[in-house]
Every structure is written in C-alpha cells, then in structure tokens.
Amino acid sequence: MELVVHKINGEATDKKVKLNDSIFGIEPNDHVIYLDAKQHMANRRQGTHDTKERSDIIGSRKKIKRQKGTGTARFGDIKNPIFRGGGRVFGPHPRDYRFKLNKKTKRLARISALTYKAKEEGIMVIEDFKLDDPKTKNYLQILESLKVDNQKTLLVLNESDNNVYLSARNLQNASVTNADSLNTYEILKANKILFVESSLKAFEEKYSQ
C-alpha cells in the first residue's frame, strides 16, 4: 500500500511511501489484540480498593436475641452482613492486576492493530515538523489543515518533542507518542494515526526484524 506524504498545511507532496506488508499487511490476530489491550488497561489499575469484612467492623460480639422461639430468622452479632453497617461479604481488597505478555505476542498485537488501521485508511504520513512554541492553537491549526480535527488522532514522532506534546495536551481527541512507545491500546483508540516520515521509518526498521 502506498500513501502520499502531506505537509502540515494539508497540501500533498510529490513524495510517496510504501507501507511494509510485514507490518501493515499481515493476517490480523484478534485474540492477541485483545490480550495486549487488556494488559495495558490492567496495568493502569491502581488496585487500592478495599472493603471491611465482618472481622474489620467495630461492634459488639453479643448475640442480638436468643436462637429459637422468636418466630424469625436466627441472628448473630451486630456485624452480621445482612444488617446495615455490617461487614461486606467477599468484598474487594487491594491487589495487583498486572500480568505479563511475551514480546512476540505484543509485537503481533501491534502490527495486527496497524493492519486493521491500514485497511480502514486510518493512517496518514506527514512531513517532519517542529513547533517553535508550545501553543495549542498552532497544533489545532495543523489538525484542521489535515482535516482530522473532528477525529481522535494519534501523532507518532520519532523523538520526544516537548513543544508538540504540550501543544496537544489540552486537546481531548489528540494524543502524541513516540515510535518506541506506540502500543496496541493507543492504536485502537485513535481514528487516525499520523506518522511523521522519520517515525514511520524507525518503526518499520524495528518491527520488520
């Protein structure tokens, strides 16, 4: 698949890039995409939730009423889970949700997600650029020129650029990442992935090995 390289003002250049079929044209594996996205979300969970069970509640251990002869159900102490203010039954406690995936699985998940984006025409290549100042207005103007301002975009840079990152930070539907940090969850979340020429080259060199 060939894509035309665009300038940041939206104009098409004479340059074209051919997407590597070993990255953007494979047979996608849906299950590994699910696993990688699941791992990303699980690793972001704090896991600090906690509830008080019966043994954690402060209260009397005295039996509320006699066992038999009342005509109603038998009760223990005031910390019984069926009472308001009683303990929680099998409630959540702090835990770590992280789990591991091997590198080959994560690699397959990313290129599978990129293959889907390529089929949906969700990938655009633009020329490398720099921003002199961190201004949201300037970055928004670039998105408007490329006609992607009404979509969720993910800009993939070759190296970290603080001015670009700060300019996009306040835009709800715009994200910026590096080629080395690109993950499956971000790929799936974006409607349009904007590769600069250098980041596309670096990404293909890394994942075509």
Give CA–CA dist 128/170, Å, rounded.
22
Give pTM, 2 decimals: 0.82
What secondary structure letter does DSSP report for 146? T
- Cβ 162 vs Cβ 134: under 8 Å: yes
Do 67 and 148 fall within a single domain? no
pLDDT level of residue 92 (50, 70, 90 thresholds): very high
**CATH code of residue 187:** 3.40.1370.10
Do 82 and 105 fall within a single domain? no
Do 148 and 196 fall within a single domain? yes
Q: Comparing 33 with 13, which gets the higher pLDDT?
A: 33
Q: Which residue range(s) make up the domain with 162?
A: 2-45+100-207
What are the strands of the beta sheet with 123-126, ordered from one edge? Answer: 12-18, 2-6, 123-126, 192-196, 153-157, 174-178
Percent of all residues in the chain with a pLDDT value above 70, rounded to a whole number: 100
Do 112 and 154 fall within a single domain? yes
Tell me the average pLDDT across 112-137: 93
At 205 the pLDDT is: 87
Start-to-end CA span in the chain (Å): 19
Last residue of a domain, one of 96, 125, 158: 96
Do 122 and 54 fall within a single domain? no
- Cβ 151 vs Cβ 191: under 8 Å: yes
At 209 the pLDDT is: 62
Give CA–CA dist 198/156, Å, rounded.
10
Total length of the chain: 209
Q: Reply yes or no on whether the pLDDT at 58 is more than 70.
A: yes
Do 52 and 91 fall within a single domain? yes
Q: Reply yes or no on whether the pLDDT at 208 is more than 80.
A: no
Do 84 and 33 fall within a single domain? no
Q: Into how many domains does the chain fold?
A: 2
Tell me the average pLDDT across 173-181: 92
pLDDT level of residue 10 (50, 70, 90 thresholds): confident
At 32 the pLDDT is: 96
Closest CA to 41 of 153, 193, 186: 186
Percent of all residues in the chain with a pLDDT value above 90, rounded to a whole number: 75
Do 85 and 28 fall within a single domain? no
Q: Reply yes or no on whether the pLDDT at 160 is more than 90.
A: no
Q: Is 12 exposed, middle or buried (0-12, 13-18, 19+ CB in 10 A)?
A: exposed
Give CA–CA dist 207/209, Å, rounded.
5
Do 167 and 112 fall within a single domain? yes
Do 63 and 150 fall within a single domain? no
Last residue of a domain, one of 37, 66, 96: 96
At 185 the pLDDT is: 95
* pLDDT tens readout for residues 32-56: 999 999 999 999 999 999 999 999 9
Do 15 and 112 fall within a single domain? yes
Output the CA angle 102-108-113, nearest 5 degrees: 130
